[in-house]
Amino acid sequence: MKKYNMNGYIRKTVEYAAGNIFDKILLLLLLPLFTRFMVPEEYAVYANVTIFISFLSLIYLLGLQQALFSHFYQYDDKRYQFTVISSILITIIIFGILFSFLIYYFRRELAQLITRDITNQDIFIYVSFILFCDVLYAIVLRIINTMERSFNYALLSVVRNLTLLILIFIASLAGKFSLKTVFIYMSVSSLLSVIIALINVLKIMAGLRQYSRSMPALFSFPIMIDLLNFGLPMIPGTIALLVLRVSDRYMLTYLSANGLYDVGIYAIGYRIGMILTFLNSIISLVYFPYAMKIAKDPRSASSYRRMFRAYAVWGGLVGFLVILFAWELSLLLLDTAYYEAVKIVVFGVISSFLFGLFNIINISFYIRKKAGNIALAVGLGAVINIILNFLLIPRIGIYGAGIASVISYLFIFLFNYNMAENLYPLNFELKPVFLALSGMILISLVNFFFFIIPEFTILKIALLIAAAGYLYFKYLHKHVLNQDISDYIAEKFRI
C-alpha cells in the first residue's frame, strides 16, 4: 500500500476536528438561549421547521453531494474537475430557484402541515431563502472536503452558526428574541455564509483553470447525466434516512398526548445525545476521502477494519461519557423547563453510535458504486421506525419514540453489515460494538435510577479519573516517557 504521510493525515484530522468542535460548541451554546426564551411548544415549532429544511435540502441537492464524492477523482484531469464543479453549481442554482418558489407559493399549506398553525406562514418565506443559500453552501463544503482542503473547510464550516449565535445573542440582550426573529437571523447568516462559500469555490475553479490552455467547459450534459445517474437513486435512500432520523418528531406532534410540548422536550434531549455526531463528522470528513483513494489497494481492507474497530471503541467511550454526565450537561445547557429531556439523551447517543458504524460499513457500497444497497437498508429502517412510532408513542410517549429510534438504527446497521460482508467481505469485528452498546445501556439504567441525584456528580468524576489513570498507565505511559506517542498512534491506526 502506498505510504501516506502520517503528519499530514494528523494535521488534517486536527483541522477538521477543530472546525467541527467549534461548530458543535456553537450549536450547544444556542441551547441555553433557545430554552431560556422559548417554551417547549415554541421550540417544537423551531425543531419541526428546521427538520423540514433538512428534508427539502435533500431534494435541492439532487444526490449531487454523494455523486461528487464518488466521481470527482474518476479522472485525474483538472479540466474535468473544473467542469464537474461548474456543472453542479449551475444545476443546483436552477433547481434551487424553482424549488424555493414552490415553497413560497405553498407557504400557507406548509405552515398548517408542519406547525399545525397557519399563522406561521411568514416563517416559510424565510425558509425558501434559507434553503436556497444553505444548499449552495453545503455543496461548496463538499467540494472543499473532497479536495481535502481541511483548513478551508474548518474555517468555512463555522461561519453560519457563529453568525447566527452572535445575532441571536444580541437579540436576547435587546429583548427582541422571538420565533420569527430566529428565522430572520438564520436568513442573514445563510446569506453571509453562501457569499463567502462562493468566493472560495470561485478561487478553487480559477486554480483548476490554470492547468488548461483553453477555457474548460462551464457545463457538460454527459458529465451531469453521469452524476445524476449516480445521485438521483440516492435521493429516496437519503429521504428515507431523514425520515428515519426525524419522523419521531412529527409523529409525536400528532400522536403524543402532550403534542408540541413532548416534541420540544424530545428534540432537546435527542440533540444533547447527538454530541457523538461530532466524531461521526470527523470520520466522514477525514477518512472517507482517503478510503476512496486507497480502494484499489489490496491491503485497504485492513485499514477499513482498523477504522471500524477504532470507532467502536472510541465512539462507545464518548457515548458512555455523554450518558454518564447527561444530568450535568442538562444543568449546564438547559433551562429548568427542559430538565425532563435528560431521560431522552441515551436514545440520541445510541442511535448516533449505530449510525456512525453504519456509515463506515457503507464504504463497501461506495467502492462498488452500489448506492441502491444503502437506500434499501435505510428505506426498510424508515418503515420500521414509522410502524414502531405509531405503536409506541400513544402508549409511552417520548420513550416510545426513543425506543423506536434505537431499534431502527440497530436494524440498518445489522442489515447492511450482512449485505456488505456478502458483497465485499471485510470481516468487521462485532464484539467491541456489542460491548459498547452493553456499557451504554447499563450506565443509562444506573444513571436513570441513581446518578440523576446531583450528589453523585463527584463520584462520577472520581470514577472517570480512576479509569483514565488506569488506561494511561496500562497503555500509554511508557510511550509518553519514551516520547514516541505519535509512533504508537501511527502503529495502532496506521492506514
Residue 480 is predicted with a pLDDT of 44
494 lies in some domain: no
Q: Are residues 217 and 271 in the same domain?
A: no
Cell of residue 211, nine digits:
492547468
Which of 232, 267, 301 terminates a domain? The answer is 232
- Mean pLDDT score of the chain: 82
Q: Apex CA 75: angle with CA 225 and CA 57, to 5°?
A: 45
Residue 471 has pLDDT above 70, yes or no: no
487 lies in some domain: no
Q: Would you tell me how many other CB atoms lie within 10 Å of the CB of residue 350? A: 25
493 lies in some domain: no
CA distance 156 to 399: 37
Q: Are residues 77 and 178 in the same domain?
A: yes
Mean pLDDT, residues 30-54 taken together? 88
Q: Are residues 195 and 256 in the same domain?
A: no
Q: Are residues 190 and 270 in the same domain?
A: no
Sign for the CA dihedral angle at 203, 208, 210, 216 comes to negative
474 lies in some domain: no
Which of 423, 439, 454 terminates a domain? The answer is 454
**Residue with more model confidence, 409 or 245:** 409
175 lies in some domain: yes
Q: Are residues 343 and 368 in the same domain?
A: yes
Would you say 268 and 330 are in contact if contact means Cβ atoms under 8 Å apart?
Answer: no
475 lies in some domain: no
278 lies in some domain: yes
Residue 493 is predicted with a pLDDT of 44
* Model pLDDT for residues 98-123, shown as the tens digit of each residue: 999 999 999 999 999 888 889 999 99
Would you say 136 and 194 are in contact if contact means Cβ atoms under 8 Å apart?
Answer: yes
Q: Are residues 219 and 128 in the same domain?
A: yes
Question: Cell 455523554 belongs to which residue?
Answer: 322
CA distance 318 to 311: 10
Q: Are residues 226 and 258 in the same domain?
A: no
Q: Are residues 23 and 47 in the same domain?
A: yes
Question: Cell 436576547 belongs to which residue?
Answer: 172
Provide the domain count of the chain. 2
Would you say 81 and 72 are in contact if contact means Cβ atoms under 8 Å apart?
Answer: yes
Q: Are residues 204 and 247 in the same domain?
A: no
* Model pLDDT for residues 77-95, shown as the tens digit of each residue: 888 888 989 999 999 999 9
Q: Are residues 362 and 426 in the same domain?
A: yes
Confidence of residue 14 (pLDDT cuts 50, 70, 90): low
Which of 212, 232, 252 terminates a domain? The answer is 232
Residue 208 is predicted with a pLDDT of 84
Q: Which of 92-101, 244-253, 399-408 has the lowest mean pLDDT?
A: 244-253
Ranges of beta strands (E only) in 275-431 are none
> DSSP labels for 440-493?
HHHHHHHIIIIITSTTHHHHHHHHHHHHHHHHIIIIIHHHHHTT-HHHHHHHHH
Ranges of beta strands (E only) in 136-189 are none
Q: Which of 136-150, 208-222, 294-308, 404-418 has the lowest mean pLDDT?
A: 294-308
Proportion of the chain above pLDDT 90, given as a percent: 27
Coil/strand/helix, residue 102: helix
Q: Are residues 284 and 416 in the same domain?
A: yes
Q: Are residues 329 and 434 in the same domain?
A: yes
Identify the domain containing residue 444 by its residue range: 241-454
Cell of residue 128, nine digits:
425558501
Q: Can you give the pTM of this predicted structure?
A: 0.73
263 lies in some domain: yes
* Model pLDDT for residues 265-295, shown as the tens digit of each residue: 998 888 888 788 878 877 776 777 677 766 6
Mean pLDDT, residues 439-457 taken together? 74
